Amino acid sequence: MIKNEKYDLIIPVFNEKNIISLLDYLFLNSKKILKIYICYDSYKDITIKKIENSNYNNSERIILVKNPFDGPCEAVKAGINKSRASSLIIYPADDYYNAVILDKMHNLFLEGNDIICPSRFMSGGKMENCPLIKYFIVKIISFSLYNFSKIKVKDPTNGFRMFSKKMLDEISIKSKVGFAYSLELLVKGSKKNYKIVELPAVWIEREDRKSNFKILKWSKQYLKWFFYALI
């Protein structure tokens, strides 16, 4: 696959009332977005109505992708299967801080990296307003993998990440819930010696929105890839 000068975005959504302002923000701050795949579970999702009633309706750059199953993990996989770009970024639907680093991530891809990891825990990154239990679990996983595995990434659980399509075509995603796909791909990619790089990123938990991070429901699959990384 020839590396092109643009990349796709995959955005799993669930009733995103501010989706239009997010799309405006993304296109304003990035000059290299090829297409954005909006991946949704249900036709009743208000995200779809918001887009259909906007200037983005029928845009060749905004592609609506129906998730054949349920949840963000399956939605991401549906988007990946549709993308034809040589690299793609999985981007959170409520992230209004990191569009400024998207083109930088793509530049790192063009330098030969396969997994580009925005990091909240390296110098220049930050994580604010995070629920204490979520922060505690994320930090334990990050510390353990960095110090006791071969994965020298300071923010391994972040679902916001860029991947080469070549790698995604060669590694099948087994995860089915939450954002476990991101840790799975990082672990499998590391074991297959794909090139990995980090850059600073910001995450500020929105106080007006309930977190979709379901610790108990998703923990089994996160732990599966956590222990696999330690082998």
**Mean pLDDT throughout 69-90?**
97
What does the pLDDT look like over 90-113, one tens digit per residue? 999 999 999 999 999 999 999 999
Question: In total, how many domains does the chain have?
Answer: 1
Domain membership flag for residue 80: yes
Domain membership flag for residue 150: yes
What does the pLDDT look like over 123-167, one tens digit per residue? 999 999 888 888 888 899 999 999 999 999 999 999 999 999 999
Q: Which residue has the tokens 């993308």?
A: 83
Domain membership flag for residue 122: yes
| Tokens, residue 72 | 């963000």
The whole-model pTM stands at: 0.93
For 198, the domain range is 7-230
Distances (CA, A) of 211 to 23, 48, 170: 21, 21, 32
CATH at residue 216: 3.90.550.10
| Alpha helices (H) along the chain | 19-29, 46-52, 72-82, 102-110, 132-148, 165-170, 180-191, 215-230
| Between 6 and 212, the higher pLDDT residue | 6
34: left (phi over 0), alpha (psi -120 to 50) or beta: alpha
In terms of residues, how long is the chain?
231
Domain membership flag for residue 2: no
Q: What is the percent of the chain where pLDDT is above 70?
A: 93
Domain membership flag for residue 159: yes
Domain membership flag for residue 95: yes
Q: What is the percent of the chain where pLDDT is above 90?
A: 83
> Which pLDDT does position 218 carry in this prediction?
74
> Which pLDDT does position 10 carry in this prediction?
98
Pairing of strands 33-40, 62-66: parallel
- The rounded mean pLDDT for the chain is 93
Helix orientation angle between 180-191 and 72-82, rounded to the nearest 10 degrees: 60
Domain membership flag for residue 1: no
What does the pLDDT look like over 178-218, one tens digit per residue? 899 999 999 999 999 999 999 999 998 866 655 555 656 77
Nearest partner of 39 among 74, 89, 88, judged by Cα:
74
Domain membership flag for residue 197: yes
226 pLDDT more than 80: yes
